[in-house]
């Protein structure tokens, strides 16, 4: 399998270790990533709210770049996945939008045709590669308790994005189980992390985060697992602000899923992935033990 890789601005600029983990794991499953001259997706809250035409044309250019190479796009950012997928839906279902975008793209030597698909790393791992294949690659099971957060931009609108059930998401939990983790259920599992309103109402944003994390810590997890760079930053950095504002004592480590996958697969240089985490976790010391022998691994 070969994909045009779209890490997104947030991951490429602020979470390079998460991007590195994606690039580390996909070759192990026979996936080749191709880097193209992509721009911002663009982020819909910043652009679409000002100009629908600009938003959809930006996205059309990115998709057209992949189409010119006969490649589908693999995204690593939930927001980019939503933006590109929704724009593709607009272009494919509204001929006038496609025609208008292509008038602009013509001057760049590009044409949007609608032939490339947009998939997220979440979909690649669960739908294309599969939980059983991932589990078979695990040599260092991770016996930790986690709470998962798929994120709003991967789940809604469900009919268009088609990643998981927006009300009862289970796929990220199953991917965690494949690594030996114990995903815990908690009350506000599908609640937003609060990032969506931070720029316009930071007080409400951190109040939402406080409620979300209060629900998480009630089940006593060791860490949070996400598939969204913005949610990662919100949980990791935001909890410190929440602690200051509300006198809470949150101190939960956060992982982008493929970081843990790289560790569980026993890939080299995984220490570098965790070096820039602001909230540390002491993972168990593992020997190179196959999953079937995991009962003997100390926790």
Residues 183 and 100 in one domain: no
Does 130 reside within a domain? no
Residue with tokens 């026993």: 266
Residues 150 and 288 in one domain: yes
Domain count, the chain: 2
Determine the distance from the C-alpha atom of residue 291 to the mean position of all C-alpha atoms in its chain, rounded to a whole number. Answer: 26
pTM: 0.94
Does 177 reside within a domain? yes
Does 132 reside within a domain? no
The CB-side HSE value for 118 (13 A sphere, CA atoms) comes to 31
Q: What is the CA radius of gyration of the chain?
A: 20
Residues 247 and 215 in one domain: yes
The CA distance from 130 to 54, in Å, is 37
pLDDT of residue 7: 97
pLDDT, one tens digit per residue, over 101-151 is 999 999 999 999 999 999 999 999 999 999 999 999 999 999 999 999 999
Residues 83 and 211 in one domain: no
pLDDT of residue 49: 77
List, in sequence order, every residue forming a beta bridge with 148; answer none if it has no partner: 225
Domain that residue 80 falls in: 2-121
The CA distance from 236 to 281, in Å, is 12
Residues 86 and 195 in one domain: no
What number of other Cβ atoms are within 10 A of residue 76's Cβ?
A: 29
Instruction: For strands 118-120 and 72-75, give the pairing.
Output: parallel
- The pair of three-digit structure tokens given for residue 176, joined into one six-digit string: 């965690």
List, for the chain, all residue ranges whose pLDDT scores fall below the cut of 70: 284-299
């Amino acid at each position: 399998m070969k994909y045009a890789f779209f890490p997104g601005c947030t991951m490429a600029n602020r979470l390079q270790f998460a991007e590195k983990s994606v690039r580390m794991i996909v070759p192990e499953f026979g996936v080749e990533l191709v880097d193209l001259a992509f721009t911002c997706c663009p982020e819909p809250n910043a652009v679409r709210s000002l100009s629908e035409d600009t938003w959809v044309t930006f996205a059309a250019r990115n998709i057209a770049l992949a189409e010119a190479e006969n490649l589908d796009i693999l995204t690593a950012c939930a927001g980019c996945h939503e933006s590109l997928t929704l724009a593709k839906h607009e272009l494919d279902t509204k001929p006038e939008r496609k025609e208008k975008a292509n008038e602009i793209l013509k001057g760049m030597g590009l044409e949007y045709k609608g032939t490339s698909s947009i998939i997220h790393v979440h979909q690649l791992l669960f739908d294309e590669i599969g939980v059983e294949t991932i589990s078979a690659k695990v040599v260092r099971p991770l016996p930790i308790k986690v709470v998962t957060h798929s994120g709003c931009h991967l789940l809604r609108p469900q009919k268009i994005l088609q990643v998981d059930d927006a009300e009862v998401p289970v796929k990220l939990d199953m991917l965690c189980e494949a690594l030996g983790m114990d995903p815990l259920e908690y009350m506000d599992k599908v609640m937003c992390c609060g990032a969506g309103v931070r720029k316009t109402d930071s007080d409400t944003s951190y109040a939402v985060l406080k409620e979300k994390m209060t629900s998480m810590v009630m089940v006593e997890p060791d860490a949070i697992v996400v598939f969204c760079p913005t949610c990662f930053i919100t949980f990791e950095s935001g909890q410190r602000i929440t602690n200051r504002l509300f006198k809470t004592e949150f101190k939960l480590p956060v992982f982008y899923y493929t970081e843990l996958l790289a560790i569980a697969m026993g890939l080299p240089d995984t220490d570098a992935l965790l070096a820039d985490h602001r909230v540390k976790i002491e993972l168990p010391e593992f020997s190179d033990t196959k999953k079937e022998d995991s009962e003997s691994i100390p926790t």
